[in-house]
Structure formats: structure tokens, C-alpha cells
Amino acid sequence: MCLKFVVIVLISFSTTAFSSNVEYDGWVNINLQHSLTFSDKPVFTDRGNVTIQSLRTGTAVVQQKPLTQSDRVKLRDLSATNEFYQLKSTVTLADGSEISFLSTVKACMLVESELNDILSVSLDYSGRVIAITLAVASTSTCEGAVVPIDKLKEFSTSVFVRHTENGPTPDTATYIQKLEREREAKERGDVKDNRSFLAKYWMYIIPVIILMVITSATNPEGAGAAR
């Protein structure tokens, strides 16, 4: 599970509308906490709250506090040292139970996107949250572009609720229809081709003619040369 980082432009998240197959609609409250110092024992501070009012439609309300001056400095330092920014999302379900998820992005990507990020909330088929992943939607690259610190004030987060699609099923209906059509066509009998012999087989005749013309054209000359 490893690779070299080559951080490249992040254009846009696919916003394909997922066919909703959540059977019971519900709401989810997500508490976001982040760690602005990357250590092996991260200290998480409050970042904000996301409430998904309807899992089926995926409408979400995002409430996030602006970053304090010291947090901004921390974030900039994190970016400067090419460290990771960690987000801990705690989901409170309708029944009151809590599950927490961890997600990590490169801090420099977040900074260079000027805190434009995307929260991808993945649901399983029954509408239970299985993963919350932070990603950065930005056209900037992690090339060390200097971002003024006052631009690191407010997160503008877009939330995407991603449902589990129904898996494919063997498409027997269309195939049977197709066979049926073919059978019907056969029963009706092939439509009589009224075109003339030449119209039907011109593509075979023309090359033969051309060949004949060429050979007859070259032969007399060759014979002449031989003489």
C-alpha cells in the first residue's frame, strides 16, 4: 500500500448524482475535529459540525468556526514542513450511537486550496456511514505556493453523500427481447432484396474489372518491350 506522492492538480469531484437506494431516510450529525500538529499522538481540536438532514437527498448543513490566528500559523507550518492534516469525524446516528472516523490529507494541499475541501460520506446499502474521507478540491498543486495567512480563515466544505449502488444483475430481459425480435424477423421472412444484381454486388465486381483493365493495359506493353 505505498506509492510515491506526485501531487497533481485537483480539478473537481465527480458530482454524478447517485441513484438513491437508501431504504430508510435518516439524519446524521457529524462532529469534525482536526489536528493541526502532526504527531504520533495527535491532539484534536474542534472544527465544526455537519448535519446531513436527509441521507436520501444528501442535503447537509455545515457549521464551522473560523480558524484562530494561532491555528492559522500552525496550519501554515504544517504545510511548510509537508506534513499531514488529520481530521477526526464523529458520527452521531439517529439512535444516539457514535462512531468515529479518521482521515488524512496533505496539509500543503489544503493550504494551497485556501481551505476549500470536500467531505465524502460513504454509506453502505442500508444507509449506515462506513467512511468519512476528507479530500481537497483545488486547482493548486503542492508546489510550495505562498498563501497569505489571512486567507486561511474559513473552511468552505462541500459535503457529498455517496450511496452504495445496486450491483449489476444479468440482463436477461433485453437479451430475450433481442432473440424474440430476431425470431420474428425470421418468421416474417427475409425482405426480398429487389435491387439488381449489379447494385447488390458492385463491390465485388469493380475490383475484378479494375484488375482486368490493369492486366490488359500492362500486357501489350510488356509484349512490345519483349519484342
155 sits near other proteins (criterion: CB under 8 A): no
158 sits near other proteins (criterion: CB under 8 A): no
Nearest distance from residue 43's CB to other proteins, in Å? 14
Task: Tell me which residue of 101, 127, 130, 104 sits closest to 117, measured CA to CA.
Answer: 104
CA 69 to chain centre: 35
115 sits near other proteins (criterion: CB under 8 A): no
Applying CB under 8 A, among 84, 92, 149, 158 the residue interacting with other proteins is: 84
Count Cβ neighbours within 10 Å for each residue of 99-122 and write b for 16 or more, e otherwise. Answer: eebebebbbbbbbbbbbbbbbbbb
Query: In the range 181-220, which residues lie near other proteins by CB under 8 A?
Result: 182, 185-186, 190
Residue 143 is placed in which grid cell? 508546489
For other proteins, which stretch binds (CB under 8 A), given 45-53, 54-62, 156-164, 218-226? 156-164
* Total Cβ atoms within 10 A of residue 55: 23
The DSSP code for 63 is E
177 sits near other proteins (criterion: CB under 8 A): no
Residue entry with cell 432473440: 179
Applying CB under 8 A, among 52, 105, 159, 161 the residue interacting with other proteins is: 105
* Cα–Cα distance for residue pair 61/147, rounded to 1 Å: 28
Applying CB under 8 A, among 133, 152, 155, 161 the residue interacting with other proteins is: 133
The DSSP code for 149 is G
Over its C-alpha atoms, the chain yields an Rg (Å, rounded) of 33
Applying CB under 8 A, among 125, 195, 202, 210 the residue interacting with other proteins is: 125
Residue 7 DSSP SS3: coil
19 sits near other proteins (criterion: CB under 8 A): no
Residue ranges binding other proteins (CB under 8 A): 1-14, 16, 21, 38-40, 82-84, 86, 99-106, 109, 120, 122, 124-126, 128-131, 133, 135-136, 162-172, 175, 182, 185-186, 190
